[in-house]
Chains A and B, each alone.
Chain A
Amino acid sequence: AQKITQTQPGMFVQEKEAVTLDCTYDTSDPSYGLFWYKQPSSGEMIFLIYQGSYDQQNATEGRYSLNFQKARKSANLVISASQLGDSAMYFCAMREGDRDDKIIFGKGTRLHILP
């Protein structure tokens, strides 16, 4: 069963607008971590932001913020003031529990920023 779901295969957004990339997850473990990565066309994986299940506040890193809604099992990435360089694939990922290092990824969303 899919544990990380990204429902938007592709998105087109005008430069300077804010964009929200959706991610829902499924776990019964109370302890978990959620990650977002960016993958440009070069193929490298760039870590963007992390949210722990026990964190009281939503994570923020510069123009990136994570809209964490625990009851809905949702961890959406928000990019403010989008730039042309934000065009890339974006992946949501999860690491469950405190005794296993397994990290699983969603299928990704391809974001296109339009000039």
Chain B
Amino acid sequence: DGGITQSPKYLFRKEGQNVTLSCEQNLNHDAMYWYRQDPGQGLRLIYYSQIVNDFQKGDIAEGYSVSREKKESFPLTVTSAQKNPTAFYLCASSITLTRTEAFFGQGTRLTVV
């Protein structure tokens, strides 16, 4: 079945450590996205990529980094520079340059202690 896989579902890290969230899709989509969700804040765009080896900052990119070495994969690293990393992170993908919907993964809940 085609879809987007985020792993792990729950992640715990100590403060000051970098952590990488995985996102893989087999939908053959060019565009991929990372969103952060906090209570009452909706979904805020961290980074997005329209093509392999290229990506753009979203509205809250500070403290995060991404790579897009393969079409299927768009990992997100939450660095120690991110002041409040505890949140629910959602990855999505879509067909590029069309006004079609984005498909989402199941999300990763990151807790930093």
A95–B106 CB distance below 8 A: no
9-residue interface stretch from A11-19, A67-75, A77-85, A96-104: A96-104
Interface size class of A (residues with CB under 8 A): 20 to 34
B101–A101 CB distance below 8 A: no
Alpha-carbon distance between A32 and B102 when the two chains are bound, in angstroms: 14
Answer whether residue B92 sits at the interface, using C-beta atoms and an 8 A cutoff: yes
**Minimum distance in angstroms from B74 CB to a CB of chain A:** 13
9-residue interface stretch from B11-19, B41-49, B64-72: B41-49
B33–A9 CB distance below 8 A: no
Total cross-chain contacts (CB, 8 A) = 62
Residues of B within 8 A of A50 (CB): 99-101
Answer whether residue B82 sits at the interface, using C-beta atoms and an 8 A cutoff: no
B 36-64 to A, binary, CB cutoff 8 A, 1 in contact else 0:
00001111110010100000101100000
What are 8 A-B contacts with C-beta separation under 8 Å?
A: A6-B42, A31-B99, A33-B99, A47-B101, A47-B103, A99-B97, A100-B50, A104-B59
